[in-house]
Each structure stands twice: as C-alpha cells, then as structure tokens.
Amino acid sequence: SILFTDRTVKVWDLNTGEETLSCAGHKRDVVAVQYCPKTQRIFSASQNVIKVKTYIKGLLSKQKRY
C-alpha cells in the first residue's frame, strides 16, 4: 500500500495503472486503508476518524463516519 499526505484515499485499476477513484474528506492524514471484497467497502482511518465507504464498480454509493 502507498500512503499519501494529501488526505485522500485512491483506488487504481491494477491492469491499466489508472486511478479510478479518489476520495477526499479526511481532515488529517490517512494512516490506514482496508478493502473488504465481500461487502465492497473501503475502510479508511486518519488520526481522528474512521470512514466506511461502499465501493461498487468505480463509484461510491454510501459513506459513514465513525
């Protein structure tokens, strides 16, 4: 995994190397990201919040903040 300090979560197509999704919204640097293929959710954590996003074929459909 690669972590950036621009406070975004990025998804790439591994076949083409193209970025397919960029999710902004963390107020601090993202320190961890996990994808669950079963639920199609992306879990991202910054220093102060955890976000859960439902990812379906390049689109974000729902977002929750914890």
Q: Does 2 score more than 60 pLDDT?
A: no
Both tokens of residue 14?
């591994």
Bigger pLDDT: 27 or 52? 27
Contact 22, 42 (CB under 8 A): no
**For the chain, percent of residues with pLDDT exceeding 90:** 0
pLDDT at 51: 75
Overall average pLDDT of the 57-65 stretch? 56
Sequence letter at residue 2: I
Q: pLDDT tens digit string along 21-41?
A: 888 878 888 888 888 888 888
